[in-house]
Amino acid sequence: MLRLLLLSGLAFHSSVSARLYTDPAQLPIKEYDFLVVGAGTAGSVIAARLSENPAFSVLVIEAGSSNQNILAAEVPFLGSTLSPNTTVTWNYTTTPQIGLNNRTIPYPRGYVLGGSSTINFEIWTRGSIDDYNRFAKVSSDPGWSWAEMTHYMKKSEHLVPPTDNRSIFGEVDLAIHGIKGPVQVSLGGYIGGVDRRVIDTTREFGSEFPYNIDMNSGYPLGIGWTQNSVSSKGFRSSSATAYLTPAMERDNLDVLIQTRVTKLVAVSHANGVPTFGQVEVAQTPTGPRVLFNASKEVILSSGSINTPQLLQLSGVGDSALLASLNITTILDLGDVGKNLSDHAFLANHWLVNSTSTFEAVGRNASLAADLLAQWNMTGTGLFSDPGANQIGWMRLPSNSSIFQQYPDPSAGPTSAHYEFLPVNGFVSFVESTPATGFFLSIITNIASPLSRGSVTLASSDPFDNPIINPALLESPFDQYVMVEAIKTAKRFAEASAWKGYIIEAVGALNSTTNEDLASYARNSTSTVFHPVGTARMTSYSNKDGVVNPDLLVKGCSGLRIVDASVLPYIPAAHPQACVYALAERAADLIKAAWS
């Protein structure tokens, strides 16, 4: 029913700049200082920051559409209707997943200005101190450490009051946040349902579920209030709305949408080192190919799926794979498309004694219309809220038996092994909401997975989807963590705060043995869509990896990658805040290189 709201025709005020183009033939010039491939979370930051210098000319090329006038991309609560299988996602599907009983699963990525920041669930988590210090260690660059990156975390964000304008004393640490950045960040603005029960449980079971006033301090362990990329007026704040749209008033920035980059072109070779300085674009498989030139750099910001795909199409990757597809190798980098890491997602459900869960909205068109009207008039109410007001991060006990068989894949003692997300309703990417009953979901995600997958070409046709294998729950370590996370969720639901509210666990969640819970996990797990690592960063001296610490591609010149694909490990966090900070630092690195 909520998807039907997207057809309501509700109009939004919008300003589409004359600098937005829908056809390559419309652009007045074919050479820019910088070509940015992808206007997603990172690409929009890069385009906006580089165009701050009026001496730089910038063209950003986006395969998808404009973000303007898309209802669900504005209303936080409707974010879940943006994927999968919509016009604003790439609508990918994975290979059969061994760890999920050979199920294939949808794998949406943002196909719109703002990329996945326009279609995600808006949760804003930085990750841990150890996450960033590990980035610094593997890159041998202290600039990627927590101490150095906090500047960029603050630079990207503007902490604002929640839409209900309540006091947030004791719910957030104001001192650690930015107050002047482009992305508006707030706490949930609609408090009710299960929120107080969650907080009461942290008081009763404080040793296992300690209250954390602000997990974005670098010490995320515990349960606290969720921060979201939502404005004080109740709108989604994305890289498109926060960075790109304001920058599009500048004469030195052009934005081309509905156009796919089909190849990165090396314009010269000197001493065996290729220099990339052109991109080839097309709008359809049979349409004309058009070349654009970069006098300084091509910046690839196409995300963890499309970045390795485009590198491989351009002859950058494993030479054996490229040869099998009759693609000439320009640069033999075997790690391109490898090291794919993602957060496995499992929604655990309980039937509850309530009539005010999200099911009440989904089954009542009049109520949904009233809530939408409230949001449209005042920017408040349930629709101003993404839907999960608390979040938790947990570690396995240090004496867990699994560590006798596998090394700890987490970044360190401040990083979680799994995530814990209570939601006032039925949430699932695997099964439909039941027609009757009201539900509590406690989502468990693998925050520090050991499993690694890959992205490879299916063919040399740039309009063919790549082969995506995130290897979800493939490692026995990840399966063990998911079972422990499920058992933790069940203990959480036994607190006195839930007595009289929870009726019973649903389905196989009632299982009591580890074997049965593992079977339940394999049958019901999907992903929360956080792919990273397919063009991983390593130190200058390391021949493995794809980019150096300055994010320039190894073994060539003129080509830099700025997106989640460069992260050598997945942060124990929803990664958008990390990607914004990464892009902010990358923009400074690029400016310094060309100052």
**Class of 119-238+343-454+468-527 per CATH?**
alpha beta
Q: What is the pLDDT of residues 448-493, one digit of tens each?
A: 999 999 999 999 999 999 999 999 999 999 999 999 999 999 999 9
Torsion of CA 263, 268, 272, 276, to 10 degrees: -40
* Cα diameter, the chain: 74
Reported confidence tier of residue 17, pLDDT bands at 50, 70, 90: very low
Based on its alpha-carbon atoms, the radius of gyration of the chain, rounded to whole angstroms, reads: 23
CB proximity list for 476: less than 8 A, separation 6 or greater: 402, 405, 406
| Pairwise CA distance, residues 382 & 363, whole Å | 15
Torsion of CA 306, 533, 587, 158, to 10 degrees: 100
Q: What is the pLDDT of residues 428-441, one digit of tens each?
A: 999 999 999 999 99
* Active-site annotation holds for 343: no
Q: Which of 177, 343, 349, 574 is catalytic?
A: 574
Over residues 285-307, mean pLDDT: 98
Torsion of CA 371, 373, 378, 380, to 10 degrees: 10
Q: What is the pLDDT of residues 157-185, one digit of tens each?
A: 999 999 999 999 999 999 999 999 999 99
| Residue numbers belonging to the annotated binding site for FAD | 112, 261, 575-576
* Active-site annotation holds for 349: no
Residue 11 pLDDT: 34
Over residues 262-285, mean pLDDT: 96
Reported confidence tier of residue 16, pLDDT bands at 50, 70, 90: very low
Domain boundaries, the chain: 119-238+343-454+468-527
Tell me the two tokens of residue 525: 């797990």
Number of H helices, E strands in the chain: 14, 24
Torsion sign, CA atoms 373, 379, 380, 381: positive
> Which amino acid type is present at position 201?
T
